[in-house]
């Protein structure tokens, strides 16, 4: 499957109309994934370690789903085949989706890291890590750490640094003191771009340790993501994601309307990280998140976000249609935001069969 470049909406003598499905805000099951595999500590296909992993894969998803925080740890077996495992679903998930996602994470991780005793996988909606070493006893280590970013802002780099600092600094304490160690926010400051953000710690962290973890997230964000339209910092103990569009379920728990006066000096002792300079690794199966497919008929443009489906065969179908038909075009989501003025009420024309209709 090839990824096709973004193009601009063609000009027409009539007014183009954008039909935005409500599914746009749903989180996909088949989301982008980032994995880490140990270079040593292999196990054999018929070993006791495999049997312990198999038991974990059947019990840990249910344990996470039954938790009010959608978080679970487990220890299976005895030395030298003992397995330690941890999983967490995003704070806006539900129990049934969480169980399904963690089950899939086990399957994917065994495929992505075959015969490796130490492995981790990060998705947008959940993460999973297992190891033959007791990483559960160390609550202050946030690795492996992944940085995922998108394209640059057109606004001043110093302003974007202040935007990101304001976001994370404003949210850290609120998230750390919540039951799920989770919160979301929307930042609206003057003429600056609107940003949406999500932050979460592992619920077994005390608030102080959670805030310390978020401090590392802040340092990594300022070091790696300054000037980016969207990004993620993904760690074993805490993580953060921000975008120019709402990507989480429900209304933001915090609205930020004041910009921090300045950005303090960045701490250069941040955790070493693997950086992906794009929204999705090249080997991931689904199309790039944040892209939308557009089909035009009689001057009306229907937008169907590929992040809104959880069936990989539908990804492939739409991508094949895009390749074969000149009626389909790919757009960056920020381009749609700009064209509709961030889906403003002034651009809202009404309600269609597939959702709200906007002028562009």
b/e per residue 247-257 (b: at least 16 CB within 10 A): bbeeebbeebe
In a domain, 140, yes or no: no
- Token pair of 132 as six digits: 């033959």
Q: Is residue 198 a part of any domain in this protein? A: yes
Q: Which domain covers residue 244, as residue numbers? A: 145-256
Number of domains in the chain: 3
Of 226, 256, 286, the last residue of a domain is: 256
pLDDT at residue 33, as a whole number = 82
Same domain, 243 and 344: no
Q: 252 and 149 share a domain?
A: yes
> How does pLDDT run across 86-127, given as a tens digit for each residue?
999 999 999 999 999 999 999 999 999 999 999 999 987 899
The predicted pLDDT at position 299 comes to 38
Question: Tens digit of pLDDT for each residue in 277-310?
Answer: 655 443 333 333 343 333 433 333 333 443 333 3
**Within-domain flag for 53:** yes
Residue 281 within a domain: no
Whether residues 189 and 235 share a domain: the answer is yes
Examine residue 224 and state whether it is found in any structural domain, yes or no: yes
Per-residue pLDDT of the chain in tens (360 residues, 90 and over written 9): 333 333 333 334 333 344 333 333 333 334 578 999 998 889 998 899 999 999 999 999 999 999 999 999 999 999 999 999 999 999 999 999 999 999 999 999 999 999 999 999 998 789 999 999 999 988 888 888 889 988 787 666 678 889 999 999 999 999 999 999 999 999 998 888 899 999 999 999 999 999 999 999 999 999 888 888 899 999 999 999 999 999 999 999 999 999 998 888 776 666 678 887 655 443 333 333 343 333 433 333 333 443 333 333 333 443 343 444 444 444 545 556 556 766 666 677 776 554 567 666
Nearest to 151 by CA among 5, 297, 309: 5
Residue where a domain stops, chosen among 211, 229, 256: 256
Return the pLDDT at 268. 63
Let me know whether 156 and 247 are in one domain. yes
Report the C-alpha gap between 36 and 113 in whole angstroms.
Answer: 8
Rounded to whole angstroms, the Cα distance separating 228 from 226 reads 6
Q: What is residue 149's predicted lDDT score, i.e. its pLDDT?
A: 84
Per the structure block, which two tokens stand in for 74?
A: 């487990």
Tell the residue number behind the tokens 């169907």, with chain if given.
304
Can you give the pLDDT at residue 72?
A: 97
Residue 88 belongs to a domain with what CATH number?
3.30.430.20
63 and 112 in a single domain? The answer is yes
Asked if residue 275 is part of any domain, the answer here is no
Pair 119, 190 in one domain: no
d(CA 308, CA 352): 18
Residue 351 is predicted with a pLDDT of 62
- Pick the closest to residue 205 from 215, 196, 195, 197 (CA basis): 215
- 115 and 161 housed in the same domain: no
Tell me the C-alpha distance between 229 and 196, whole Å.
Answer: 11
Residue 94 lies in a domain: yes
What whole-number distance in Å separates Cα of residue 187 and Cα of residue 42?
46
Q: Tell me which of 67, 96, 131 is where a domain ends.
A: 131
pTM beyond 0.85: no
Residue 189 resides in a domain = yes
pLDDT at position 13: 36
């Amino acid at each position: 499957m090839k990824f096709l470049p973004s193009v601009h909406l063609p000009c027409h003598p009539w007014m183009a109309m954008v039909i935005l499905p409500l599914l746009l805000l749903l989180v996909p099951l088949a989301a982008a994934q980032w994995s880490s595999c140990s270079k040593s500590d292999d196990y054999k296909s018929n070993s006791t370690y495999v049997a312990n992993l198999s038991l974990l894969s059947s019990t840990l998803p249910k344990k996470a789903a039954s938790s009010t925080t959608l978080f679970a740890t487990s220890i299976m077996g005895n030395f030298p085949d003992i397995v330690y495992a941890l999983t967490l679903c995003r704070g806006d998930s539900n129990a049934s989706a969480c169980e399904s996602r963690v089950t899939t994470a086990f399957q994917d991780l065994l495929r992505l890291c075959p015969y490796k005793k130490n492995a981790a996988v990060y998705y947008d909606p959940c993460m999973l890590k297992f190891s033959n070493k007791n990483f559960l006893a160390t609550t202050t280590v946030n690795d492996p750490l992944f940085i995922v970013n998108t394209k640059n802002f057109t606004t001043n780099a110093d302003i974007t640094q202040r935007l990101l600092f304001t976001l994370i600094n404003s949210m850290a304490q609120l998230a750390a003191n919540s039951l799920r160690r989770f919160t979301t926010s929307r930042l609206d400051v003057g003429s600056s771009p609107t940003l949406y953000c999500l932050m979460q710690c592992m619920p077994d962290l005390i608030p102080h340790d959670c805030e310390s973890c978020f401090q590392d997230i802040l340092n990594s964000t300022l070091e790696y993501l300054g000037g980016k339209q969207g990004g993620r910092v993904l760690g074993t103990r805490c993580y953060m994601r921000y975008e120019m569009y709402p990507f989480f379920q429900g209304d933001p728990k915090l609205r930020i309307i004041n910009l921090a006066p300045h950005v303090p000096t960045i701490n250069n002792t941040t955790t070493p990280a693997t950086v992906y300079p794009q929204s999705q690794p090249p080997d991931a199966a689904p199309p790039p998140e944040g892209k939308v497919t557009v089909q035009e008929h009689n001057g009306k443009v229907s937008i169907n976000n590929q992040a809104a489906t959880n069936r990989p065969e539908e990804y492939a179908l739409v991508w094949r249609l895009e390749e074969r038909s000149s009626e389909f075009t790919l757009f960056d989501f920020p381009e749609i935001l700009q064209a509709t003025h961030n889906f403003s009420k002034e651009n809202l024309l009404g309600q269609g069969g597939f959702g709200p209709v906007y002028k562009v």
